[in-house]
Structures are given as structure tokens and as C-alpha cells.
Structure 1
Amino acid sequence: MRIISGKYKGHRISAPKNLPVRPTTDMSKESMFNILGNRFDFEGLKVLDLFSGTGNLSYEFASRGASAITAVDGDFGCVKFIKQTAAGFGFNISAVKNDVYKFLKGHKAVYDIIVADPPYNFTQQQFEDVVSLVFEAELLNEDGMMIIEHSKHTKLDHLMNFSFEKKYGGSIFTFYEFDKDESEEDLTIDTDTEEDEI
């Protein structure tokens, strides 16, 4: 994987091949951060990274200046790798080994940005529960944004606080925020670009 912007732009990070992950591609990751960059000054943001896997998104936020990042994953190997990588770069990332659903039900902090990248083979209900739990627990800042990555076979645009979605091949990023911009209410951007996983 490669950090695409910020202080550590261009740095490559090699994760163990035995981790149970499906990394976000460079192109889709860059697209998501371009959208966020038009809305947020990353410096000082608090970020929650759910189903963090290798920590790919957490490192990107850290490189761009986010002040505190919490990365949650249920796999011991993933959490261990994130801790080691964060320590090596000096990133302020707190890696937590926990079931994401249990974490959300018992967590009380508030974040500016929440990202979630559950396994694509999760059920529709499992995806919906991630979004519902975030808002039920009031974990998102009123000016914040939540983004969940999923396949084109999962539909999440009917959930409360839906703002817009962006499609890349078979992957979709769905965005949620409290104050929805009417101009983006039904915005769906399709691209047939084929991407290689990092």
C-alpha cells in the first residue's frame, strides 16, 4: 500500500500477506480523500476507522495531519500490524482489537470523520447496523461525515442521514452527514475504471 498525500506522501507500507483483508485501491482512496479534502482541514481532526484491516486509511489520515485516530478491527494480526506501523512513523493511531459492533455499542467519544470498510460478504443488515449504531451512539460530530465502503450489491442510500454516494467499478463509497446539501442529495457518480488492489 502507498500513502498518497501529506507529510509521508509516497511512502510504501508492506503488510503481511496472511492478513484477512481487502485493501481499498489507490484510485478509490484518492477519490474519497479528495472529497473529504474539499470539506475538511485534516489538521487536528479526530477520526474513527472501523474494520481498519491493514490501517491503510488510518495512515492516510495521519499523514495529512489528523490529531487522533482510533482504528478498530477484530483480527489480532491486523491490530498488531497497525500498532507496529504507527510506532514506526510516529502516527497518533490507537489500534483497538474488538468486535466493531460491540465497540460501537459501548463507545462514547465523538469523531469528526468515521470511515468503515466491512467485508463485502456481510449481509445487508450487517452493513445497515454499522451505520445505525454510529448515529444511535452519537459518535459523529454534528459537522462531521461518515463514509462506508461496500459493493454494488449492497444498497445503503435509504438510511437516515444519507448524503450521496460515489461509485468506482464494483465498489461504492456512501457518505452520511447531518446537514445534507440538497445539491448532492441524489448525486451518484459512476466510473467504469478498473483498478488494481494495493
Structure 2
Amino acid sequence: MRIISGTHKGKIITPDKNFKARPTTDFAKENLFNVLNNYIDIEDASILDLFAGTGSISYEFASRGAGKIISIELNYNHYAFIKKTAAQLGFKNMTIFKTDVFIACKKLNGTTFDIIFADPPYNLEKINEIPAAIFNNDLLAPDGIAIIEHPGTVDFSSEPNFFEHRQYGSVNFSIFKRQ
């Protein structure tokens, strides 16, 4: 996995071979950030990265000048990897919490973010509850954007605040905005 753009453009990050996370492909990540650049200014934006996994998306935001990044990851090995890598890369604006995403959303209630990205495990039983966790806890800023990466078998189009769906190969993104 590599950082696509910004101050650390081209930096390759290699997690341990035993790593269980499925990082967003470089192809999908590049397309996602092209879409984001059309909707919102990433520089100085506040970011919430749910199910951070390898930290790939958080590093990308940090490299592109985001102001504040909060990464949530439950798996201890993944959390430790993100924390170590962020320090090695000098990303002082990243804060990583080892906790359940749904608990974190409740604790962050009322703290708003310009961009929220969620990349849950595709087999997560509560995957359909992610939009509610974001919007019921008032986490998205008024002009913010939330993106959920998900398998093609999941359809968020009937959810309140759903804005659009994008597909890049086998990767699906549902995009949400405040209505």
C-alpha cells in the first residue's frame, strides 16, 4: 500500500504479513480522493476514520494536509501498527483510539467532522447500522461528507442522508451528506 498524494506521496507502507485488515486498494483510494476533492477541501479538514485497519486512509488525509484526524480501530495489533507508523511518518495531527466504532461514535456525540470514512469488515453483522451511528450521534459537520466502503451486496441507497454510490472494481463507496 502506498500514499497516493501530498507531502508523503509515493511512500510505501508494508504491514506485517499476519495483518488481518483489508486495505482499500490504491486504485479505489485514488478515485475516492478524486471524488472528495470535488466536494470538499481536505486541507485543514477534521477527519474521522472508522475501522481504520492499516491506517491507509488516515495517512492519506494526513499527507494531504488535513487538520485533525481521529482513527478508530478495535484490533490491538492494527491499532499499534497505525500508532507506530503515524509516529514514523511524523503525522502529529493523528490521534488513534483502540475501541469499538459504535462506542466511539457515542462518546464523540456532538463532535463534528468534515469528512468521515468508514471501512468496516465486509462481514460485519452491524454494517447497516453505520449510517445511524454517524447521524444519530451528530458527527458530520453541516457541509461534511461521510463515505462508507462496503461489499456490493450492501445497499445504503434507502438510508436517510444517502447522496450517491460509486463503484471501482469490486470496491463500493456509499456517500452521505446532511439533508
Shorter-chain TM-score bucket reads over 0.9
Structure 1 stretches of 4+ moved >2 Å: none
Kindly tell me the number of residue pairs found equivalent between the two proteins. 177
State the distance in 2 between where 1:139 and 1:7 align: 28
1:47 maps to what in 2? 47
CA RMSD of aligned residues (A): 1.0
1:57 maps to what in 2? 57
1:186 maps to what in 2? none
For normalisation by structure 1, the TM-score amounts to 0.87
1:100 maps to what in 2? 101
The aligned amino acid for 2:116 is: I
The aligned amino acid for 2:122 is: Y
State the distance in 2 between where 1:95 and 1:106 align: 14
Secondary structure of the residue aligned to 2:39 is coil
The aligned amino acid for 2:28 is: S
The aligned amino acid for 2:46 is: K
Unpaired segments ≥5 residues, structure 1: 180-198
For normalisation by structure 2, the TM-score amounts to 0.96
Is the 8 Å Cα contact of residues 140 and 178 (structure 2) preserved in structure 1? no
The aligned amino acid for 2:133 is: L
Secondary structure of the residue aligned to 1:38 is helix
Larger Cα Rg: Structure 1 or Structure 2? 1
Name which of structure 1's ranges 44-53 and 165-174 shifts more when overlaid on structure 2. Answer: 165-174
1:112 maps to what in 2? 114
State the distance in 2 between where 1:42 and 1:106 align: 24
**Cα displacement (A) at 1:20:** 1.7
State the distance in 2 between where 1:61 and 1:55 align: 10
1:2 maps to what in 2? 2
State the distance in 2 between where 1:31 and 1:67 align: 22
Unpaired segments ≥5 residues, structure 2: none
1:144 maps to what in 2? 144
Q: How does 1:100-179 map to 2 (within 5 A)?
A: 100-108=101-109, 109-123=111-125, 126-179=126-179
**Cα displacement (A) at 1:170:** 2.3
State the distance in 2 between where 1:71 and 1:54 align: 10
**Cα displacement (A) at 1:61:** 0.2
